[in-house]
Amino acid sequence: MKVFPDKLPEALSRKLPPVVIVAGDEPLQHMEACDAVRAAARAQGIEEREVLHVEANFAWGRLRESAASLSLFASSKLIELRLGSNSLGQEGAKALKEHAEQLQGSDDVLLISMGKLDYRQQKSAWFKALDKVGLFVPVWPVDIARLGFWLRDRAGRHGLNLDLDAARLLGERTEGNLLAADQELQKLALLLPPGARVGPAQIAGGVESSARYDVFTLMDACLKGERARVSRIMAGLRGEGVEAPIVLWALARELRTLLSLHQHLDQGQSFEHACKAQKPAIFDKRRPAYQQAINRLPLKRLHKLLLFAQRLDLAIKGASPLPAWDGLHDLALTLAGGRGLLAELPSSYRVG
């Protein structure tokens, strides 16, 4: 059964399941979800704990051995299987499916900690077998539109009364890095009295920018038309030393996806069908962003942007005088519905 991180403690208080799968790449929520399972196990009287780190050539028989062995002083134990981003492989999938089938009468709890599970993996036999008897906790990054509200609620945990404007500013300075945001809230809680009201001025004066950006965050901002955010992310990527070809790859991929969507729509297909026809398919959560981009960018403009991307590829390889990073910013900003920064260049270099 699927349970989101904020509802996990409540679900565990009702019944401690034999299996909990915590999957995702957001560190803070992932860590706290695993901590909640450990706390629930202790409250249930489970004191013994064994941690198995899955690495290359991991012997999956260790899981079976761990489940079969107990100390002299315990009748049950918490087994933590830490996969990280490692793949299960056929042997791992078989071992987990067998574990699910042998849970009858066992008081053990298996906590599986792993990276993000895609839709295909959630349809696998091993996942269905475990999900049937346990909890699945998907850990997603907090969407930028919800981040201010999330941080405002989070501040309440630390005894702070955070203004929504202050929460949004904190989110802007720590975007994509919830661990850093929570650390800032903890520092404020130490400096201020309980229940203190925190405004934007205190955030601006006391919080260093610790935003963590990647090209996927950039694509999200481009599709949604968030121009100021696009410029901020581009500056962050460049400052963090992200390679220009990676940024260009991501931008060109989205351009091709939007062109493909346009072509399907021009053939009379519905937007939903056009999204499903993409490889990989565009999931429901991302479809509104693509719809915004399609409405904003006609087919002719997308073709011009793709040509501009080709010129940028030459610039990155040193075969064109076009300034690569300024050009990438121009491309991203125009994709988001803004005006590029290369107006001083010859018209042959500019985005049309």
300, part of any domain: yes
350, part of any domain: no
Q: What's the confidence (pLDDT) of residue 137?
A: 95
Beta carbons of 254 and 278 less than 8 angstroms apart: no
DSSP secondary structure letter of residue 324: H
- pLDDT of residue 222 exceeding 90: yes
343, part of any domain: no
- pLDDT of residue 81 exceeding 90: yes
- For 104-138, b/e burial (b = at least 16 CB within 10 A) is eeeebbbbbbbeeeeeeeeeeebbebbbebbbbbb
CATH code of the domain covering residue 242: 1.20.272.10
pLDDT, mean of residues 257-269: 92
For 192, the domain range is: 144-206
Beta carbons of 256 and 317 less than 8 angstroms apart: no
349, part of any domain: no
- pLDDT of residue 328 exceeding 60: yes
Chain mean pLDDT for the chain: 86
Residues 133 and 149 in one domain: no
Residues 123 and 20 in one domain: yes
Q: What's the confidence (pLDDT) of residue 46?
A: 87
Query: What confidence tier does 213 reach under pLDDT thresholds 50, 70, 90?
Result: confident
Angle subtended by helix axes 144-157 and 164-173, to nearest 10: 110
Q: Convert the pLDDT of each residue in 104-163 to its tens digit.
A: 767 889 999 999 888 888 899 999 999 999 999 999 888 878 888 999 999 998 999 999
- Tokens representing residue 171 in the block: 């989110």
Domain count, the chain: 3
Q: Convert the pLDDT of each residue in 154-212 to its tens digit.
A: 999 899 999 998 888 888 878 768 888 898 888 888 888 888 898 888 787 666 555 66
344, part of any domain: no
345, part of any domain: no
Which of residues 82, 108, 139 is at a domain's end? Answer: 139
Query: What confidence tier does 346 reach under pLDDT thresholds 50, 70, 90?
Result: very low
Q: What's the confidence (pLDDT) of residue 239?
A: 83
**Which residue would you say has higher pLDDT here, 294 or 207?**
294
| Greatest mean pLDDT among 61-65, 78-82, 239-243, 280-284 | 78-82
> Which positions ≥6 away from 297 have C-beta within 8 Å?
258, 305, 335, 337
299, part of any domain: yes
Q: What's the confidence (pLDDT) of residue 343?
A: 38
CA angle 180, 242, 281 (to 5 degrees): 85
341, part of any domain: no
Tell me the C-alpha distance between 209 and 98, whole Å. 47
Which of residues 176, 206, 236 is at a domain's end? Answer: 206
Residues 169 and 115 in one domain: no
pLDDT, mean of residues 210-237: 85
Q: Which of 150, 155, 125, 130 is nearest to 140 (CA)?
A: 150
Residues 202 and 219 in one domain: no
- Tokens representing residue 271 in the block: 């937007």
Q: How many CB atoms lie within 10 A of CB 160?
A: 21
CATH code of the domain covering residue 180: 1.10.8.60
Residues 67 and 125 in one domain: yes
The label of the residue with tokens 């699910």 reads: 100
Residues 228 and 275 in one domain: yes
Q: What's the confidence (pLDDT) of residue 279?
A: 79
CATH code of the domain covering residue 113: 3.40.50.300
Residues 285 and 308 in one domain: yes
- Tokens representing residue 324 in the block: 């690569």
Q: What's the confidence (pLDDT) of residue 340?
A: 58
pLDDT, mean of residues 276-299: 87
